[in-house]
Amino acid sequence: MQKKQSLLKQFFHFSAATVASLMVFSLYSIVDGLFVARGVGEYAMTAVNLSVPFVNLLFSIAVIFAVGTSTIIAYLLGQKNAQSANKLFSQNLATLVVIGVTISVLVLAFTEPLARLLGAEEVTLEYTIHYLQGLAPFAVCFMISYNLEVLVKTDGRPRLALVTVCVGCVTNCVLDYLAIFHWGLGIWGAAAATGLSQLLTCIIYLTHFLGKHTTFHPVRFRMDWKIYRRLLPIGISDGLTELCNGLMIFLFNHTILRCIGTDGLVAYTIIAYANTLVINITMGVSQGSQPLISFQNGRGDGTAIGNLLRYGLRTMCGIAAVCFTVLFLAAPKLVAVYLPEAGAEMLTFATDAFRRYSLCYLPVGFNIYIAGFLTAMERPLPAVSISTGRGLILQGSILLLLAAVLGGSSIWFAPVISEVLCLGLSVFFLLRLRRTHPVFAKGKPA
């Protein structure tokens, strides 16, 4: 993160690599759904969607520790304190291993109650149980893989992160195809294939951090419980963004079953895949720029931080226009890919739902980037307010209100209404930060 490149080039270098990594990462669930839909059936594909909140839980934990650890490590490196960075990195890995093993044991012990809690019913229960049983043993791999993917970029190796994620995705695609179409392992095989690909990426990342070409690496450490008072508030905003995405899928699933029925749930499964892709693109820009913002904050360079903010907001303008236009126009073809045997009525219903939901892609990126910016500036409370506001409180309230008052297809407008309302809150917090944070008064460091 030194000035070997201009700040703009650094921004695009880190953000592009992170966006590419997360886009490829999105393909894990998209590929699972596609192979399962064509090789097992549409209700099995729906079971994959029902399991998404569990996967989001794993990723949200990984994001909390990754963003918190990454921000503090970048700050420490800006102050040339490598020893503390090494200890924090090591403690982070140990903590995730303990959490991951605990989750695996609990899910395997209570698989059926968890499946029913997620919304599985008669036609989807068995599929959901098998999918969860395939994922659960790899909970540690899911968390460490994503966690290290963020930290590799903090270490100044965004290309390594991208290559590793691509290797994992290709592995997942190959194993998915073999498990479903050649080995007859069905939906359990698709889940196990995803888990094994995560294991492979963990090995690649750990090989890097155990090598010589790294800024920070594992060392012996003594648990510093006090660091979590700083780390958890920093990471909670981005973690809640991921967790709220899963909770909203959970809430949407239950609301759709009540208001529309199983056909609506099948349509929402396709929407959820596209939504995950768009959210990950915007989060990629946010997370990619966070180490740069934290580093400049450590240096006290308000001018550079202001430039990074402008770069991010302008990038979000382009992303919003492209994502909305492409998905709105391509909705019929995307629906047909996942539902090759569906009737004309079902295809029309799913396409209309897809297009109504896609309106939220116009404002969503600005909320996510501003929340990420506030996180990197160590302003966790406003960042958490934005993340929970847009991702759960506002959207959940509006969803339930529309379902109760209008019902039916009106629920697809809940995301865009909540994102627009939250945008006002985001702008307020951002303007307040620019007025009150001391780094903006100082400008460039002496």
Determine which of 119-123, 147-151, 324-328 has the lowest per-residue pLDDT on average: 119-123
CB 162 within 8 A of CB 132: no
| % of the chain at pLDDT higher than 70 | 97
Q: Confidence class of residue 426 from pLDDT cuts 50, 70 and 90?
A: very high
In a domain, 1, yes or no: no
| The pair of three-digit structure tokens given for residue 207, joined into one six-digit string | 């090989």
| The pair of three-digit structure tokens given for residue 66, joined into one six-digit string | 């990754």
Task: Identify which of 43, 67, 31, 27 has the alpha carbon closest to the alpha carbon of residue 387.
Answer: 67
Q: Confidence class of residue 261 from pLDDT cuts 50, 70 and 90?
A: confident
Q: Confidence class of residue 249 from pLDDT cuts 50, 70 and 90?
A: confident
Q: Which amino acid is at 73?
A: I
Do you know the residue count of the chain? 446
CB 295 within 8 A of CB 279: no
Q: What is the pLDDT of residue 353?
A: 94
* DSSP conformation letters of 268-331: HHHHHHHHHHHHHHHHHHHHHHHHHHHHHHHHT-HHHHHHHHHHHHHHHHHHHHHHHHHHHHHH
Q: What is the pLDDT of residue 442?
A: 64
Q: Confidence class of residue 247 from pLDDT cuts 50, 70 and 90?
A: confident
Is 443 a residue whose pLDDT tops 70? no
Q: Which amino acid is at 246?
A: G
Determine which of 145-154, 178-187, 257-266 has the lowest per-residue pLDDT on average: 257-266
Is 434 a residue whose pLDDT tops 80? yes
Is 131 a residue whose pLDDT tops 90? yes
Q: Confidence class of residue 445 from pLDDT cuts 50, 70 and 90?
A: low
Is 245 a residue whose pLDDT tops 90? no
In a domain, 2, yes or no: no
| Number of domains observed in the structure of the chain | 1
Per residue in 195-222, pLDDT (tens digit) is: 999 999 999 999 999 988 899 999 999 9
Is 405 a residue whose pLDDT tops 80? yes
Distance between CA atoms of residues 44 and 266, nearest Å? 10
In a domain, 323, yes or no: yes
SS3 215: coil
CB 283 within 8 A of CB 306: no
Task: Identify which of 187, 363, 180, 336 has the alpha carbon closest to the alpha carbon of residue 267.
Answer: 336
Is 265 a residue whose pLDDT tops 90? no
Q: Confidence class of residue 175 from pLDDT cuts 50, 70 and 90?
A: very high
Is 2 a residue whose pLDDT tops 60? no
Is 264 a residue whose pLDDT tops 90? no
In a domain, 208, yes or no: yes
Is 237 a residue whose pLDDT tops 90? no
Is 84 a residue whose pLDDT tops 70? yes
Q: What is the pLDDT of residue 21?
A: 74
* DSSP conformation letters of 324-391: HHHHHHHHHHHHHHH-TT--HHHHHHHHHHHHHHGGGGTTHHHHHHHHHHHHHTT-HHHHHHHHHIII
The residue that leads in pLDDT, 441 or 209, is 209
* Sign of the CA dihedral running 213, 378, 80, 14: positive
What is the arithmetic mean of pLDDT over 395-406?
A: 93
Distance between CA atoms of residues 19 and 44, nearest Å? 29
The residue that leads in pLDDT, 112 or 266, is 112
Q: What is the pLDDT of residue 109?
A: 97
Per residue in 24-68, pLDDT (tens digit) is: 777 777 777 888 888 888 788 888 889 989 998 998 999 899 989
Integer CA distances (angstroms), 72 to 18, 120, 411, in order: 19, 40, 40
| The pair of three-digit structure tokens given for residue 156, joined into one six-digit string | 């100044």
CB 430 within 8 A of CB 370: yes
Q: Look up the domain containing 336 and give its range.
A: 7-442
Q: What is the pLDDT of residue 112?
A: 96
In a domain, 386, yes or no: yes
Residue 71: CA count within 13 A, CB half-sphere: 31
Distance between CA atoms of residues 216 and 126, nearest Å? 45
Q: Mean pLDDT across the chain, nearest whole number? A: 89
Rounded to the nearest 10 degrees, how much is the dihedral formed by the CA atoms of 11, 13, 18, 20?
Answer: 130
pTM reported for the whole predicted model = 0.76
Determine which of 125-129, 374-378, 436-440 has the lowest per-residue pLDDT on average: 436-440
Q: What is the pLDDT of residue 62?
A: 93
Q: What is the pLDDT of residue 363?
A: 96
Q: What is the pLDDT of residue 408?
A: 82
Distance between CA atoms of residues 24 and 408, nearest Å? 34
Phi and psi torsions of 95, nearest 5° = -65, -40
Q: Confidence class of residue 113 from pLDDT cuts 50, 70 and 90?
A: very high
Q: What is the pLDDT of residue 281?
A: 92
Distance between CA atoms of residues 242 and 77, nearest Å? 27
Is 376 a residue whose pLDDT tops 80? yes
Q: What is the pLDDT of residue 444?
A: 66
CB 122 within 8 A of CB 99: no
| The pair of three-digit structure tokens given for residue 272, joined into one six-digit string | 């959820």
